[in-house]
Structure 1
Amino acid sequence: MFHSGLWAVFARRRLGDQAVVLTYHRVIDEQRRPRPDSNPGIIVSADTFDMQMRALRDHLNPVSLADFHAHVEHGKPLPPKSCLVTFDDGWLDNYEVAFPILQKYKIPAVVFIPLDYIDNNIMFWQEEMLMWLTTLLSAGDADSLQRLASLLNKHESAASITIHDIRAHVVAMKDSSDDVITEALQSLRQELGKNGEPAHYNRYLNWQQVKEMRTAGIDFASHALSHRILCRMSDERCREELQQSRTLLEQQLGEPVRAIAYPNGDHDERVMRKTREAGYTLAFATTSGLYSQADEPLSIPRMNVHENNSRDKALFLCATINLL
Structure 2
Amino acid sequence: MATTQSQPAVAATGLRKTFGDHVVLDGVDLTVTPGSVFSLLGANGAGKTTTVKILSTLISADGGTARVGGHDVVREPDAVRAAIGVTGQFSAVDNLLTGEENLLLMADLHHLARGEGRRRAAELLERFDLVEAARKPAITYSGGMRRRLDLAMTLVGSPRVIFLDEPTAGLDPRSRRGMWQIVRELVADGVTIFLTTQYLEEADELADRIAVLDHGRVIAEGTEDELKRRIPGGHVRLRFAEQKALDAARRVLAHAAPDNDALALRVPSDGSVRSLKTLIDQLDRRAIEVDELSVHTPDLDDVFLALTGATNEKVTTR
TM-score interval (norm. to shorter): under 0.3
When Rg is computed on C-alpha atoms for both structures, the one with the higher figure is 2
By percentage of residues, which structure has more strand?
A: 2
TM-score, normalised relative to structure 1: 0.27
What's the TM-score once normalised by structure 2's chain length? Answer: 0.27
Q: Higher relative CO (CA 8 A, sep ≥ 6), structure 1 or 2?
A: 1
